[in-house]
Amino acid sequence: MSEATVIDGKAFAAKVREGVAGEVAALKAARGVVPGLAVVLVGDDPASQVYVRGKGKATLEAGMESFTFRMAGTSSHDEVLARVEALNADPRVNGVLVQLPLPGQIDERAIVDAVDPAKDVDGFHVVNTGRLATGLDATVPCTPLGCQLLLRDRLGADGLKGAEAVVVGRSNIVGKPMAQLLLRDHCTVTVAHSRTKDLPAVVRRADIVVAAAGRPEMVRGDWIKPGATVIDVGINRIERGDGKTRLVGDVRFDEAVKVAGAVTPVPGGVGPMTIACLLANTVAAARRQHGAPEPD
Ligand code: GUN
């Protein structure tokens, strides 16, 4: 059997980012508005620092303003809340993102829900979550949105209709919103997780697999139905054996590529799409806040 198509998320994300840069330029020309994204990072988690730096750089490259607020890991709940409230009130800021996870002394849910839903470019606010679940217009979380764009590009709208989709992982950031997006695209959706009985058998039913369990290389080649489309959301750093580390997904890539119809690599698959979708959510938020029309 021939090897799977390796989905080039980096190239697709570059196209999305080009489109966003065009929208930013148009908004500036028509209204004199430069969209701004504020990112709040509490503490010094190394992975979060890398993500936050990447988000700031991409924001500037799209022609937008970037504001990064680094707060001590010992910050109190009220200090973080005050920062979010200041950003809600700042007219230069159209999008507010609080990098998760937050240190234990902070009530994460309360902070997420303190962000103005109109500025909630993560789509994590309970209002946006509820709107997505009820089929209303909503800001959609960036990672599942990126997965949806890759799936639609690969399969076409008709390719998703009626397909069996299995999402592995039930997080608020990826698994649950991903399931909602797949439902909106008329898939038959199963959300599986660490307590699912006979997980390999459940995954084997899937025409579409979205692996978002946070477990390195958990999904093996013999879990995958031949020809399935496999989207790997995992980003796990593992020991290589020679003292160095490497990034792997939640899917055992070398096995999956022999069975699947298409598979995303790690790195270079879903990761770049997440940032591209954050930029898209930010320019859309700025447009709405300024009453500008949606582009064609
Ligand atoms: N931590 C891991 N992924 C994300 C994300 O998409 N947004 C935020 N705010 N924090 C995260």
Query: Given phi > 0 = left and psi -120 to 50 = alpha, else beta, which region is 169?
Result: left
Residues taking part in catalysis: 55, 99, 122
Q: How far is Cα 32 from Cα 19, in angstroms, rounded to an integer?
A: 19
Burial of 51 (0-12, 13-18, 19+ CB in 10 A): buried
Is-contact 232 257, C-beta < 8 A?
Answer: no
Consecutive H or E run containing 212: none
DSSP string, 26-56: HHHHHH----EEEEEEES--HHHHHHHHHHH
Do 196 and 85 lie in a common domain?
no
Number of structural domains found in the chain: 2
Query: Does pTM top 0.95 for this prediction?
Result: yes
CA of 247 to the centre of ligand 1 (A): 18
Q: Whole domain around residue 192: which residue ranges?
A: 142-272
Residue to mutate, 49, 97, 108, 109, ligand 1, most ligand atoms under 8 Å from C-beta: 97
DSSP 295: P
Do 113 and 147 lie in a common domain?
no
If you take atom 1 of ligand 1, which residue's CA is the nearest one?
100
Do 110 and 204 lie in a common domain?
no
Q: Report which ligand 1 atom has the smallest distance to the Cα of 101.
A: 1
If you take atom 8 of ligand 1, which residue's CA is the nearest one?
99
Do 169 and 266 lie in a common domain?
yes
Q: Report which ligand 1 atom has the smallest distance to the Cα of 142.
A: 6
CA of 236 to the centre of ligand 1 (A): 15
CA of 26 to the centre of ligand 1 (A): 28
Consecutive H or E run containing 92: none
Q: Examine residue 289 and state whether it is found in any structural domain, yes or no.
A: no
Residue to mutate, 119, 122, 172, ligand 1, most ligand atoms under 8 Å from C-beta: 122
One pLDDT digit (tens) per residue for the chain, 296 residues:
689 999 999 999 999 999 999 999 999 999 999 999 999 999 999 999 999 999 999 999 999 999 999 999 999 999 999 999 999 999 999 999 999 999 999 999 999 999 999 999 999 999 999 999 999 999 999 999 999 999 999 999 899 999 999 999 999 999 999 999 999 999 999 999 999 999 999 999 999 999 999 999 999 999 999 999 999 999 999 999 899 999 999 999 999 999 999 999 999 999 999 999 999 999 999 999 999 988 87
Q: How far is Cα 211 from Cα 230, in angstroms, rounded to an integer?
A: 8
Provide the β-strand partners of residue 239: 245
CA of 173 to the centre of ligand 1 (A): 7
CA nearest neighbour of 120 among 79, 75, 172, 164: 172
Which residues neighbour 50 within 8 Å (Cβ) at sequence distance 6 or greater? none
Q: What is the CATH number of the domain that holds 86?
A: 3.40.50.10860
Q: Examine residue 279 and state whether it is found in any structural domain, yes or no.
A: no
Q: Examine residue 15 and state whether it is found in any structural domain, yes or no.
A: no
Is-contact 177 141, C-beta < 8 A?
Answer: yes
Do 203 and 268 lie in a common domain?
yes
Q: Examine residue 21 and state whether it is found in any structural domain, yes or no.
A: no
Q: Report which ligand 1 atom has the smallest distance to the Cα of 141.
A: 6
Q: Examine residue 295 and state whether it is found in any structural domain, yes or no.
A: no
Q: Examine residue 127 and state whether it is found in any structural domain, yes or no.
A: no
Do 196 and 250 lie in a common domain?
yes
CA nearest neighbour of 91 among 22, 21, 27, 38: 38
Residue to mutate, 40, 48, 49, 51, ligand 1, most ligand atoms under 8 Å from C-beta: 51
130-163 confidence digits (pLDDT tens): 999 999 999 999 999 999 999 999 999 899 999 9
Do 147 and 268 lie in a common domain?
yes
Do 147 and 258 lie in a common domain?
yes
Whether the upstream peptide bond of residue 144 has omega within 30° of 0, thus cis, is no
Do 49 and 147 lie in a common domain?
no
Q: Examine residue 3 and state whether it is found in any structural domain, yes or no.
A: no
Residues with CB under 6 A from ligand 1: 97-100, 122, 142-143, 173
Q: How far is Cα 46 from Cα 243, in angstroms, rounded to an integer?
A: 18
If you take atom 4 of ligand 1, which residue's CA is the nearest one?
100
CA of 141 to the centre of ligand 1 (A): 9
Q: Report the DSSP pairing between strands 245-248 and 236-239.
A: antiparallel
- Cα of 71 vs its chain's centroid, Å: 23
